[in-house]
């Protein structure tokens, strides 16, 4: 045995990797990296009705995209059913669990009785000490844990503190169903133990489960892992996170054009803080993260903040990184076809040339792709309404006036281009902006773009003059 930390992320593949799950994975991953340990991935696919292969694939793809890869192949909970059964049988042999032959009708009766007496429904332990020789024939029993009747179970949680559960509230839970399949509660404990998990970091909706699971560990004489139950994410209005608030799958965030490092930075700050630091690189997060610093209160999801953080990481990325991110992500972006309008080499070259001007304004890859559209537009350009209005309202006259000077330029550089436009503006009593505006409209079809001299220089002489010529008539 070593003391090496082993965490795990244990999603149920009943849907895609949602944003709360991604944060749980991130905290597990950060803690493992911070401590020099490892993070394992377990797919909790025992619910055969609701688990799908597509969801497993989406979860793994989502984790890969975020860079939260597990240190080992994913473990399928379903495939470990025989081991779960064996452990339950072992518990029966040790006297820590027993066969229960209560029928559905009996259980129903117990529930009704509890309800009438205003008690929480609880199995009454009728097979706990009964001689198995009395078992009715032809009935397949379930296996129940022989849980302590009094005292309390204490969960020492790294986030929630010491949480006490009176044992009288934790009944003899079912470990194995009558068909021999394990219950979720049992499978999780056996898997965590066998996988050598030392730290369980998960949503605080599992806190009560932690008490029940503690009883199973104790019954087997196993060490109880450290627990850290992290508060759920709420919407900006404080209500439980719904689709409207951003409770979407990770792939939806990918489609919105967030960078993994932007999304991870934002997610890390949802419920955890390091002083006043808002912007953190992955290396910094690894260096600083500790489960003890996770807040106890629920955090609120805030799209505006996510955008701002992502915008920071866009600006902090090198031009090359952003070009590669666009090329890699284009099949995931709703407007990714913009980046397929020319052959890849041309797209890369044009993006690289334009990137310094483009990246200052874009908070997401979607915005970045959108703002690069002018590079790959076919002539005659489509015009936004406001751009067309500028051209119609005297803009075309300006362009016709600028064209001779621009076409006779020896050197097509931003400086030389600016000099021509300045000269023309001065000679005609125009402010520089009044000359630049129609240029921008004619070159990009829009009223906003990077600096117009950059646009001219990135498009190059031939394409620029052709676009201007289209408007000069
Ligand atoms: N499969 C559970 C879930 O997706 C997590 C169980 C656990 O972390 O123990 O909520």
Asked whether 469 and 463 are in contact (CB, 8 A), the reply is no
Instruction: Report the mean per-residue pLDDT for the chain.
Output: 95
Percent of the chain with pLDDT over 70: 99
Ligand 1 contact via 11 beta carbon (within 6 Å): yes
Q: Is 120 helix (H, G, I), strand (E, B) or coil?
A: coil
Pick the atom of ligand 1 nearest to 11's CA: 4
Helix ranges (DSSP H) in 14-119: 19-35, 53-66, 81-94, 104-116
Q: Is the pLDDT of residue 432 over 50?
A: yes
CA distances 349 to 251, 376, 435, 461, Å, are 28, 11, 28, 16
Catalytically annotated residue among 115, 243, 296, 431:
243
For ligand 1, the distance from its centroid to the CA atom of residue 372, given in whole angstroms, is 42
Residues 288 and 371 in one domain: no
Helix ranges (DSSP H) in 147-299: 184-194, 207-220, 250-255, 260-268, 282-288
Residues 56 and 127 in one domain: no
**pLDDT digit string (tens) for 434-464?**
999 999 999 999 999 999 999 999 999 999 9
According to the model, what pLDDT value does residue 1 have? Answer: 46
Examine residue 395 and state whether it is found in any structural domain, yes or no. Answer: yes
- Of the three residues 174, 201, 230, the one that is the final residue of a domain is 230
- Of the three residues 185, 202, 230, the one that is the final residue of a domain is 230
Ligand 1 contact via 12 beta carbon (within 6 Å): yes
For ligand 1, the distance from its centroid to the CA atom of residue 199, given in whole angstroms, is 14
Residues 88 and 204 in one domain: yes
Residues 219 and 84 in one domain: yes
Residues 225 and 82 in one domain: yes
Residues 169 and 47 in one domain: no
The total of structural domains in the chain comes to 4
Q: How far apart are CA 162 and CA 188, in angstroms?
A: 22
- What integer is the mean pLDDT of 140-159? 96
Pick the atom of ligand 1 nearest to 8's CA: 8
Q: Is the pLDDT of residue 266 over 70?
A: yes
According to the model, what pLDDT value does residue 37 have? Answer: 98
**Structure token digits, residue 268:** 């890390």
Pick the atom of ligand 1 nearest to 9's CA: 8
CA distances 176 to 47, 92, 405, Å, are 14, 11, 85
Q: Which residue has the higher pLDDT, 429 or 239?
A: 429
* Ligand 1 pocket, mutate which of 44, 46, 199, 291 (most atoms under 8 A from CB): 44
Residues 244 and 207 in one domain: no
For ligand 1, the distance from its centroid to the CA atom of residue 208, given in whole angstroms, is 13
Q: Is 176 helix (H, G, I), strand (E, B) or coil?
A: strand
Domain membership of residue 354 as a residue range: 317-376
Asked whether 75 and 195 are in contact (CB, 8 A), the reply is yes
Residue 369 CB neighbours (<10 A)? 23
**pLDDT digit string (tens) for 378-410?**
999 999 999 999 999 999 999 999 999 999 999
Pick the atom of ligand 1 nearest to 21's CA: 4
For ligand 1, the distance from its centroid to the CA atom of residue 202, given in whole angstroms, is 7
Residues 267 and 326 in one domain: no
Instruction: For ligand 1, atom 7, name the residue with the nearest CA.
Output: 10
Examine residue 425 and state whether it is found in any structural domain, yes or no. Answer: yes
Model pTM score? 0.93
Ligand 1 contact via 188 beta carbon (within 6 Å): yes
Q: How far apart are CA 367 and CA 361, in angstroms?
A: 8
Residue 442 β-bridge partners: none
Q: Is 243 a catalytic residue?
A: yes
Examine residue 140 and state whether it is found in any structural domain, yes or no. Answer: yes
**pLDDT digit string (tens) for 189-247?**
999 999 999 999 999 999 999 999 999 999 999 999 999 999 999 988 888 877 777 67
Examine residue 310 and state whether it is found in any structural domain, yes or no. Answer: no
Q: State the distance between the two ends of the chain, measured CA to CA, in whole angstroms.
A: 81
According to the model, what pLDDT value does residue 412 have? Answer: 96
Examine residue 54 and state whether it is found in any structural domain, yes or no. Answer: yes
Ligand 1 contact via 206 beta carbon (within 6 Å): yes
- What integer is the mean pLDDT of 14-38? 95
Q: CATH number of the domain that 443 lies in?
A: 1.10.10.350
Q: Which residue has the higher pLDDT, 235 or 180?
A: 180
Pick the atom of ligand 1 nearest to 188's CA: 9
Examine residue 152 and state whether it is found in any structural domain, yes or no. Answer: yes
Q: CATH number of the domain that 188 lies in?
A: 3.40.50.620
Residues 329 and 460 in one domain: no
For ligand 1, the distance from its centroid to the CA atom of residue 138, given in whole angstroms, is 35
Examine residue 151 and state whether it is found in any structural domain, yes or no. Answer: yes
**pLDDT digit string (tens) for 310-336?**
999 999 999 999 999 999 999 999 999
Residues 265 and 345 in one domain: no
Residues 435 and 408 in one domain: yes
Instruction: For ligand 1, atom 4, name the residue with the nearest CA.
Output: 11
For ligand 1, the distance from its centroid to the CA atom of residue 184, given in whole angstroms, is 9
**pLDDT digit string (tens) for 340-385?**
999 999 999 999 999 999 999 899 999 999 999 999 999 999 999 9
Ligand 1 contact via 10 beta carbon (within 6 Å): yes
Examine residue 306 and state whether it is found in any structural domain, yes or no. Answer: no
pLDDT range class, residue 42, cuts 50, 70, 90: very high
Residues 161 and 293 in one domain: no
- Of the three residues 211, 230, 249, the one that is the final residue of a domain is 230
């Amino acid at each position: 045995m070593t003391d090496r930390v082993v965490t795990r992320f244990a999603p149920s593949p009943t849907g895609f990797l949602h944003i709360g799950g991604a944060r749980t994975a991130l905290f597990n991953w950060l803690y493992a990296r911070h401590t020099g340990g490892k993070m394992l991935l377990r797919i909790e696919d025992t619910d055969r009705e609701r688990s799908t292969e597509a969801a497993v694939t989406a979860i793994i793809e989502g984790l890969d995209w975020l860079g939260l890869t597990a240190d080992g192949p994913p473990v399928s909970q379903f495939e470990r059913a025989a081991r779960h059964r064996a452990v339950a049988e072992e518990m029966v042999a040790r006297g820590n669990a027993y066969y229960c032959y209560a029928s559905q009708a009996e259980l129903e009766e117990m529930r009704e009785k509890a309800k009438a007496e205003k008690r929480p429904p609880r199995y009454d332990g009728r097979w706990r000490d009964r001689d198995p020789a009395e078992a009715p024939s032809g009935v397949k029993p379930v296996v129940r844990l022989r849980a302590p009747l009094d005292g309390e179970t204490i969960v020492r949680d790294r986030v929630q503190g010491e949480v006490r559960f009176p044992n009288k509230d934790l009944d003899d839970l079912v470990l194995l169903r009558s068909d021999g399949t394990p219950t979720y509660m049992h499978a999780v404990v056996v898997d965590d133990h066998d996988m050598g998990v030392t730290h369980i970091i998960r949503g605080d909706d599992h806190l009560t489960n932690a008490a029940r699971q503690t009883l199973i560990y104790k019954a087997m004489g196993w060490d109880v892992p450290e627990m850290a139950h992290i508060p759920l994410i709420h919407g900006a209005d404080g209500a439980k996170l719904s689709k409207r608030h951003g409770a979407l799958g990770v792939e939806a965030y990918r489609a919105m054009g967030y960078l993994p490092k932007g999304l991870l930075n934002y997610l890390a700050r949802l419920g955890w803080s390091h002083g006043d630091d808002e912007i953190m690189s992955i290396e910094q997060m690894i260096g600083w993260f500790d489960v003890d610093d996770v807040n106890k209160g629920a955090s609120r999801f805030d799209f505006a903040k996510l955008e701002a953080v992502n915008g920071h990481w866009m600006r902090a990325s090198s031009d090359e990184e952003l070009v590669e991110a666009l090329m890699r992500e284009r099949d995931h972006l709703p407007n990714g076809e913009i980046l397929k309008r020319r052959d890849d080499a041309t797209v890369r070259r044009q993006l690289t040339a334009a990137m310094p001007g483009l990246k200052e304004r874009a908070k997401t890859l979607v915005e970045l792709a959108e703002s690069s559209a002018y590079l790959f537009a076919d002539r005659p350009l489509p015009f936004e309404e406001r751009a067309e209005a500028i051209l119609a309202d005297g803009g075309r006259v300006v362009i016709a006036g600028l064209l001779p000077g621009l076409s006779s330029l020896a050197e097509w550089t931003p400086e030389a281009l600016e000099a021509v436009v300045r000269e023309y503006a001065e000679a005609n009593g125009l402010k520089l902006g009044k000359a630049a505006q129609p240029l921008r409209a004619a070159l990009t079809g829009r009223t906003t773009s990077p600096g117009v001299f950059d646009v001219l220089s990135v498009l190059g002489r031939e394409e620029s003059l052709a676009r201007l010529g289209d408007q000069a008539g």
